[in-house]
Amino acid sequence: MATRVLVVDDSGFFRRRVAEILNADSWLEVVGQAENGEEAVRLTAELKPDVITMDIEMPVMDGITATRQIMQRTPTPVIMFSSLTTDGAKATLDALEAGALDFLPKRFEDIARDRDEAKNLLCQRVRALGRKRMATPPTTTPASKPISTSSAAPAPAPAPRISKSGTLKLLAIGTSTGGPVALQQVLTNLPADFPLPIVLVQHMPATFTPAFARRLDQLCKINVKEAEDGDVLKPGWAYLAPGGKQMLLQGRGSQPSLQIIDADESQTYKPSVDITFDSISKVYPGETLAVVLTGMGADGRDGARTLKQKGSTIWAQDEASSVVYGMPAAVAEAGLTEQILNLTDIGPSIVKRVM
Amino acid sequence: MDDELLQDFLVEAGEILEQLNSQLISLEQAPDDKDLLNAVFRGFHTIKGGAGFLSIDPMVALCHRTEDIFNLLRNGERHVTQDLMDTVLPVLDVLNDQFERLQSGDELDAADPALLRALEHYTTPGDGPAPAATPSAEPKPEAVAAAGNEDITDEEFEALLDALDKPGGGSSDKPAATNNSDGDEINDDEFEALLDDLHGKGQFKGAPPADNTEDKPAAASGSNEPEEPISQDEFEALLDDLHGKGQFKGAPADAGQSTTPPAASGAGGAGGGGGSPSAAPAPEPEEPQSAAAMVAKAAAGNKERPAGETSVRVDTARLDEIMNMVGELVLVRNRISRLGEHAGDEELSKAVANLDLVTSDLQLSVMKTRMQPIKKVFGRFPRVVRDMARSLEKEINLEMIGEDTDLDKNLVEALADPLVHLVRNSVDHGIEMPDVREAAGKHREGTVALTASQEGDHILLVIEDDGGGMDPDKLRQKAVEKGVMDADAAARLDDNECFNLIFAPGFSTKDQISDISGRGVGMDVVKTKITQLNGSIEIDSAPGKGTRLSIKVPLTLAIMSTLMVRLKDQLFALPLVNVSEIFHLDLTKTNVMDGQQVIIVREKTLPLFYLKRWLIKGEANTPLPSEGHVVIVHMGNQKIGFVVDELIGQEEVVIKPLGALLQGIPGLAGATITGDGGIAIILDVPGLMKMYT
């Protein structure tokens, strides 16, 4: 079965373009189009699409409200189209909070080198979400399962040799699609006196990371900021890698600092989890807890391998709770993980391990 | 660029631009209307989206900045002021212009940097020259405070600081302000702007006034359905193939732990959010309570399927073709019904009656496909009136009635210019200055009313103002001064004839020529244009009370109702729009005045002419019959009588252009094929009168 898609946008022109692009992909089929949020909510119930592409600005009912209602009534993966502006970032984060799983800039060129790549990317992202089955929102935290072995991947790595609580110096988290919500879920579990500094790498455009850092900062007990060049790591602070750049950890010993460098044209991910992890392995070779959360692709695998080789601990999010089980799967299948955890358990487990 | 995509975009953009036109004007009346602000924001947003998709960068640049302004407006961070509107309205003109260029396949120039800068100026907080009229003209402290929260970027903040440092802060027209209040990048446009500035003043003020809202056929609002690139069967087969390979692992076991419900986690997080002042603000819930009208509209749309699937785009040339063929059909119908009458066969008569009915319906339906609401033209008036009132410092209220009246697309287009001219005239010459009005005991605010209504197979358009009206004596005097006629002739004119003087070529009563409503060439051009449309224009005025202009045009240009008459053995068609009455007359009871034969009809003296003498070869001096049929025709307020040999009756005719040989002969409008297969010349009454009297 092809992934059935509902396209929501108040612009007929845009709807038709998106539908054309999606329909050109044999794995995707546009089953309906809605021109405002209200219609989207109705058609979602009626057509039961596998994925919804949603515009934010619409008459009658905006995309955020619509997403929220859809999540309440007929949970369906939603991918938002947003503009890459400061306000767009805010709206997009609101949409993610309302339950949208992913977002794409409305101007595809902004994320791709050319039109074809942009089209591919759109289809890829929609297909990825199409594989996701939404469960009805859990009302309470289900019985926790410390280790979920949901994938057929090689058995988790044996217990760590070096890392013991107390010897850890850094928490590093890398994620992509679904990451904003996942990060929020994990970080809000950490107490204000969390003893380690935290570096966060979330694939996100440059205009979004400042707003996202601010939002996390508001929601979390720990402090969160967008990383700036020269920031010295402090415990209880999380540093979010700025979009469009690369974040490196440099220096040795007690006062390592962050270095922000321009991304290379050829790099697929800006920021890249691999690059950050790799730099970490030089500073805190065996004293890092690295967690790879939901996301498409395999960014983080190589960095995690390096970290692992030097004695650090790698965790990954499990398939059931991942929006896209790509990055965590890559790490798990490479046999690098000590634990594969459900999203709801990651925060508490970190706290248990570290404190 | 893909033409199909471009057309698709243009159809949508055209509609949005039209809406924006009226929305922006309404906004001035209701500056705090949230729904309206949202709608305007979305309008620019949507155009930007489409233009972005097609990489039409100049359009994106403009829309983007305007969208930003409206984002501030709808968030209440800025308020609508006249100055702001004066900056935003030209954007619409430029967009319209870009739109037209795209439509005609031209390349776009980069957006005017001066305009872009003027727009950016409004998105920079804390700018100095915010008009004093604004109650909340972003005081600086507020802006600084805003810097702390998430709605202001670093760049903006820097710009703000720059603005504060600068004396006369933020007058973004100064070169200094151009460059780099916002940071590291200067693009070509900005650089050019800078050069412009250094060389002299920006050209922004010179931006051309609104020109035209594009007239797109209603039918064109449709869309193309996305095509199925692969047949259903093939697709199924493909799926089956792939399925075997386990491409889909099936739904992951529902472990009861889906992605965390964001709402829940959001709330939880907010609860614990230590020192942070505010939790993530809930998205504004305004949208759902949008204007009832909007909801209703959407609901109406929902009843059917999405709008895209119910209409198709048709080239207007094709519609013209269909209309032409229907015209031919009408001719054949006429012919057959004529034959049927003669045959006296009952069956045939029935069939003919049926044909008659079907043809009429078909004709009507085809005509309807070409119909557009007069709104297309009316829509631009609020803007026209607003801009003029602003520049003339008059206070004017524009009323529009019957905007939904439909008429032929070609007519809508053809009427646009004359109507704009007349409205401008009313505003410029009709409505007095507020003080003058007050002194005359009238409301300071003048009213210009535009009314459209259908009357049978005609459309009546009325432009009425409650201004100063026209003084017949002044017009007489002027006519003499201008050498249009001598004093005696002028004195003999009745008031109504005086008013019609304004349609005379080269007649302008305003002592000072204003660049707003033409230079005295206008009214006769208007008249000619209306006449070309087989329409008529009438004027009535009362000094101190106002002026009323009524225009009558047929519903369509392709088919015309005529009165068929015979002169000797030839048929002629007189457009019914010009015919007032017909009667039988004892021609011996005529009088001669000033060497002109006249008749007296209801105590009015009308000149009488023998059409045969004008139009039939060798009949120029034929003796007059003792009695004959008289057709009273009129144009404007002028009436004359034509003597004809026989009245055939009323007939719908299809206008065919005359062959090259006859082209350009005054008095002939075209030709048509009559019911009996003959050819009839369609007369152009105003042309005839100009030629022979």
Question: pLDDT confidence of A8, banded at 50, 70, 90?
Answer: very high
Sorting pLDDT into bands at 50, 70 and 90, what band is B462? very high
pLDDT of res. A125:
85
**Paired tokens of B583:** 């009667």
| pLDDT tens per residue, range A182-225 | 998 899 999 988 899 999 999 988 888 888 898 899 889 999 99
Q: What integer pLDDT is reported at residue B244 of this predicted model? A: 46
Which residue of B75, B184, B259, B297 is the best one to mutate when testing the A interface, meaning the one whose CB has the most A CBs within 10 A?
A: B259
| Chain B residue whose CA is closest to A14 | B50
Q: Residue B231: what pLDDT?
A: 54
Handedness of CA B559, B564, B570, B572 (dihedral sign): negative
Dihedral sign (CA A123, A124, A129, A132): positive
Q: Which residue has the tokens 């998430």?
A: B150
Q: Which residue of B has its CA nearest to A19?
A: B226
- So what's the pLDDT on residue B155? 55
Q: Is the pLDDT of residue B388 over 70?
A: yes
Mean pLDDT for all residues in chain B: 71
B272-310 confidence digits (pLDDT tens)? 444 444 444 444 444 444 444 444 444 444 444 444 456
Radius of gyration of chain A from Cα atoms? 20
Q: Which residues in chain A are closer than 8 Å to B255, comparing Cβ atoms?
A: 135, 142, 148, 150, 320, 342
CB contact under 8 A, A218 and B280: yes
Q: How far is B241 from chain A (nearest CA, A)?
A: 11
pLDDT of B169 over the 70 cut: no
pLDDT of residue B196: 54
pLDDT digits (tens, 9 = 90+) for B21-37: 888 888 877 777 888 88
Confidence class for position B238, pLDDT limits 50, 70, 90:
low
The catalytic residue positions of A are 176, 203, 299
Average pLDDT over residues B638-646: 86
pLDDT band at B610 (very low <50, low <70, confident <90, very high): confident
Q: For chains A and B, count residue pairs whose Cβ atoms are closer than 8 Å.
A: 226
Least confident among A17-31, A35-49, B609-623: B609-623
Q: Indicate whether A239 pLDDT > 90.
A: yes
User: Quick one: which H or E segment has residue B409?
Assistant: helix B409-425
pLDDT interval class at B366 (50, 70, 90): confident
Chain A partners within 8 Å of B42 (Cβ): 10, 57-59
Q: Residue A86: which pLDDT band, with cuts at 50, 70 and 90?
A: low
Please report the DSSP string for B191-229 in residue order. Answer: HHHHHHHHHS--SGGGPPPP-------GGGG--PPPPPS
Residue B133, burial from CB neighbour count under 10 angstroms (0-12, 13-18, 19+): exposed
Interface test with chain B among A219, A318, A341, by most B beta carbons within 10 Å = A219
Structure tokens belonging to residue B123: 């998105």
Per-residue pLDDT reduced to its tens digit, A167-178: 788 999 999 988
Query: What's the average model confidence in pLDDT over B546-572?
Result: 84
Residue B168 in this model has a pLDDT that exceeds 50: no
Which pLDDT score, from 0 to 100, does residue A241 have?
92
Give the least confident one: A204-208, B243-247, B445-449, B629-633: B243-247
What would the mean pLDDT of B187-204 be, rounded to a whole number?
Answer: 51
- pLDDT value at position A166? 53
Phi, psi for residue B571 in degrees, rounded to 5: -95, 140
| Chain B hits for A218, Cβ within 8 Å | 270, 273, 276-280
Residue B614 pLDDT grade (very low, low, confident, very high; cuts 50, 70, 90) = confident
Q: A-chain residues within 8 Å CB-CB of B229?
A: 23-24, 26
Mutation for A interface: B15, B36, B287, B304, most A CBs within 10 A: B287
Please state, rounded to an integer, the average pLDDT across all residues of chain A. 83
Secondary structure in 3-state letters for B23-83? HHHHHHHCCCCHHHHHHHHHHHHHHHHHHHHCCCHHHHHHHHHHHHHHHHHHCCCCCCCHH
Of all residues in chain B, the one with the smallest CA distance to A115 is B53
pLDDT at B240: 53
pLDDT band at A112; cut points 50, 70, 90: low
Residues 6+ apart with CB under 8 A from B603: none
Mean pLDDT on B242-269: 43
Return the pLDDT at A202: 93
Beta-carbon separation of B151 and A87 below 8 A = yes
SS percent in chain A: helix, strand, coil, step 5: 35, 20, 45
Judged by DSSP in three states, B493 sits in coil
- Residues B82-106 have pLDDT tens digits of 777 887 888 888 888 888 888 777 7
Question: Percent of chain B having pLDDT more than 90?
Answer: 1
- Does pLDDT of B508 surpass 80? no
Task: Give the pLDDT confidence score for residue B201 in this predicted structure.
Answer: 45
Q: What is the mean pLDDT of residues A132-152?
A: 43
Give the confidence band of B693 by pLDDT, cuts at 50, 70, 90.
low
Express as a percent the part of chain A with pLDDT over 90: 31
Query: How large is the average pLDDT for residues B170-187?
Result: 44
Nearest Cβ partner of B261 from A26, A30, A138? A138
User: CB A97 to CB B266 under 8 A?
Assistant: yes
Which pLDDT belongs to residue B310? 64
Closest alpha carbon to B575 in B559, B592, B562: B562
Lowest-pLDDT range of A157-161, A199-203, B503-507? A157-161
Least confident of B63-67, B82-86, B618-622: B618-622
- pLDDT above 70 coverage of chain A, percent: 87
Question: Span B498-505, mean pLDDT?
Answer: 78
Query: Which chain A residue has its CA at the smallest distance from B265's CA?
Result: A185
- How far apart CA B647 and CA B594 sit, in angstroms, is 29
pLDDT average, residue stretch A261-281: 87
| pLDDT higher than threshold 90 for residue A52 | yes
